Amino acid sequence: MNRVYIKTYGCQMNERDSEAVAALLRGRGYRMVTKEDECDILLLNTCSVRDAAEQKAIGKAAHVASQRKRNPDFILGILGCMAQNRGTELLDRLPDVDLIVGTQKFHQVPDYLDNLRAAQAAGTPIGQTIVDIAEEAGSQNTIRDHVLEEKQVSAFVSIQQGCNMDCAFCIVPKTRGDERSRPMDEIVRECEQLAERGVREVTLLGQIVTSYGRRDYEHTGGVTPFVQLLERVNAIPGLRRIRFTSPHPRGFKDDLIAAYGRLEKLCEYVHLPLQSGSNRILKAMNRPYTRERYRQIVDDLRAAQPGMYFSTDVIVGFPGETAEDFAQTRELFETCNYDMAYVFKYSIRSGTPAACLPDQVSDEVKEERNGILLRILEANSNRRNAALVGTTQEVLVEGPDQKGRRYTGRTRGNRIVHFDAQERLVGELVPVKIERASTAVLYGELALAGVEPESAHRTPGTH
């Protein structure tokens, strides 16, 4: 009765949290399974950014709980942001949930599961749900353990949690707490250990990753703590690439922009949240920058690294957004020429300042504006990918694709590439000549002298 399946909703931070919980559980003797129908314990690691994400997780939990008649010893837990946001309120809709654990208590999950299983073994009904959503000093330092698959070449590294920005639309400060950074030496040590285990690319994670260490470390020679960390990770032997997410535009000072031109492992890919292209709406959102400043950051980054790729977040239909406000967003969205974007229709999150604002925008208008930006994005992506056809791109080989027919990897610009290769190339940086492109994927052939793709070894008539 110790088989655990973790289902993760939401962002890369949630994925990293789930992986850390899995590592802790393995160390305690639990067996992690890859299929939900094989588990005795189901943990839902949830998201609260939008109401739809919460409703999806609640629906899943209700469905699972209704099936417990077949296995009365089954344990159901809800972790993460929704647990933190709703707490005991969840029990009104989900009375059969056994465990509710917030974002600062992930490391307590093994102890709580041990207690639940001990009660079962003694023949004692579990009884009252365990709920722990309390704050805990130093909890950011507990997200450090990894479960690596064989020949895993990339990994997430949590460096900072929490947010002090108080954007009017966002519930993250409530679900994740205040900014808290991990010690730099510990982060570097974690990255070194990952490199020793074969990881070639790390993605540094934080709610506002560019705010890393601003209260804990001095700015040295005009270099912020976050850039100091990038410099140290860049120097680790074995690592070949560095990425990070999610930043805030205000974090892109001169030192970070310059880092793209001098740190060879820092990939020329930036996720730069816009949210709105209207200064009036940005002010209402409590976003401390203007459209002009945002555009300057984009231009400066492209000057430092001409091959830069950009992704962004945009919210359409924020309360009070007029046609003119959206027109400004559309114009800046087109001008920045994003390679990827996450376009969200504003949804009310109770407990945020925007929830009480007048002039809520209708669902029909939100849908229309959402569609306009997505069509622009599709055209941008098609144009950018088409421009790569005929070029040779550096690709980090990650492994076989989902169908097992070819291999897959990513360019420095975070574009997915499919190509024929050999297993021995997993974890290597290889040149791939791009032969064709779709909206989301590139297709190519190895351009390595003396290296034959896997297809060259197939017998005629096989696939």
**128 and 259 share a domain?**
no
**380 and 393 share a domain?**
no
| 268-294: burial string, b at 16+ Cβ within 10 Å, e else | bbbbbbbbbbbbebbebbebebebeeb
* Segment 147-159, tens digit of pLDDT: 888 889 999 999 9
CATH number, domain of 107, equals: 3.40.50.12160
**356 and 411 share a domain?**
no
Question: Structural domain tally of the chain?
Answer: 3
Least confident of 65-69, 189-193, 268-272, 294-298: 65-69
* Among 184, 134, 196, CA closest to 159: 184
* Segment 213-249, tens digit of pLDDT: 998 998 888 899 999 999 999 999 999 999 999 999 9
The number of angstroms, rounded, from the C-alpha of 379 to the middle of its chain's C-alpha atoms is: 24
Would you say residue 266 lies in a domain?
A: yes
Coil vs helix vs strand at 420 = coil
CATH number, domain of 240, equals: 3.80.30.20
CATH number, domain of 417, equals: 2.40.50.140
Would you say residue 256 lies in a domain?
A: yes
Task: Give the number of residues written for the chain.
Answer: 463
Coil vs helix vs strand at 150 = coil
- For residues 39 and 18, the answer to whether their CB atoms sit within 8 Å is no
Place of tokens 């722990």: 132
Which of 71, 102, 132 is at the close of a domain?
132
* Among 113, 127, 149, 156, CA closest to 24: 113
- For residues 237 and 383, the answer to whether their CB atoms sit within 8 Å is no
How many Å apart are CA 47 and CA 80, to the nearest integer? 7
246 prior amide bond cis, ω within 30? yes
Residue 51, number of CB atoms within 10 A of its CB: 13
Which of 326, 352, 387 is at the close of a domain?
387
Q: Would you state the pLDDT for residue 404?
A: 81
The band of 454, judged by pLDDT with boundaries at 50, 70 and 90, is low
Which of 132, 161, 196 is at the close of a domain?
132
Place of tokens 């005991």: 88
Domain enclosing residue 249, as ranges:
139-387
Least confident of 97-101, 202-206, 269-273, 444-448: 444-448
The pair of three-digit structure tokens given for residue 334, joined into one six-digit string: 């087109």
Is the C-alpha dihedral spanning 461, 395, 204, 350 positive or negative? negative
